[in-house]
Amino acid sequence: MVAMIYKYEYERSFLAHCYMTIKTFLLKETQATKKQVAKMNVPTNGNKKLEHVLARVNKNVKLNTLWDSSNVMAVKRLKMTDHGRTHVAIVSNLALKLLRNLKRAGVVPDSVCDHKLDYEDSEVIVFLASVFHDIGNAVSREDHERMSIALAPLMIEDILKDIYPERQRTIVTTEILHAMLCHDTNTTLHTTEGGVVMIADGLDMEQGRARIPFDLGKVDIHSVSALSIEDVKVLYTEQIPIQIEILMNNSAGIFQIDYLLKKKIESSTISKYVSVTARVKDGREKKIIKEYNLNNHKDMEGGRE
| Confidence check: pLDDT of 39 > 90 | no
Q: Give the number of other CB atoms < 10 A from CB of residue 157.
A: 13
Helix ranges, the chain (H):
2-36, 48-59, 61-71, 85-104, 110-115, 119-132, 144-151, 153-160, 166-181, 192-203, 211-215, 221-227, 254-255, 262-267
Q: pLDDT by residue (tens digit) across 256-267?
A: 898 889 999 999
Q: Which residues contact 123 (CB under 8 A, 6 or more apart)?
A: 47, 49, 50, 96, 99
Amino acid (1-letter code) at residue 171 = I
Cα separation values, 127 from 155, 158, 223, Å = 14, 15, 27
Residue 27 has pLDDT above 90, yes or no: no
CATH topology of domain 48-283: Hypothetical protein af1432 (1.10.3210)
Cβ-in-10-Å burial (0-12, 13-18, 19+) of 296 comes to exposed
CA–CA distance, 223 with 81 (Å, rounded to integer): 9
Stated as kind and residue range, the H or E segment containing 275 is strand 274-280
d(CA 10, CA 151): 50
Q: Domain residues of the chain, as ranges?
A: 48-283
Q: Is the Cβ–Cβ distance between 286 and 249 less than 8 Å?
A: yes
What span, in angstroms and rounded, lies between the C-alpha atoms of 194 and 252?
28
Question: What confidence category does residue 222 fall into, taking pLDDT thresholds of 50, 70 and 90?
Answer: confident
Task: List phi, psi (to 5°) of 190.
Answer: -130, 5
Helix (H, G, I), strand (E, B) or coil at 277: strand
pTM for the structure as a whole: 0.80
Interatomic CA distance for residues 211 and 274, integer angstroms:
28
Integer-rounded Cα Rg, in Å, for the chain is 25
Distance CA 258, CA 261 (A): 6
Contact 45, 100 (CB under 8 A): yes
pLDDT in tens, 113-155: 999 999 999 999 999 999 999 999 999 888 888 999 999 999 9
Burial label, 63 (beta-carbon count in 10 A; 0-12, 13-18, 19+): buried
Contact between 200 and 94 under an 8 Å Cβ cutoff? The reply is yes
pLDDT tens-place string over residues 80-122: 788 889 999 999 999 999 999 999 999 999 999 999 999 999 9
pLDDT of residue 16: 54
Range of lowest pLDDT (79-83, 100-104, 168-172, 275-279):
79-83
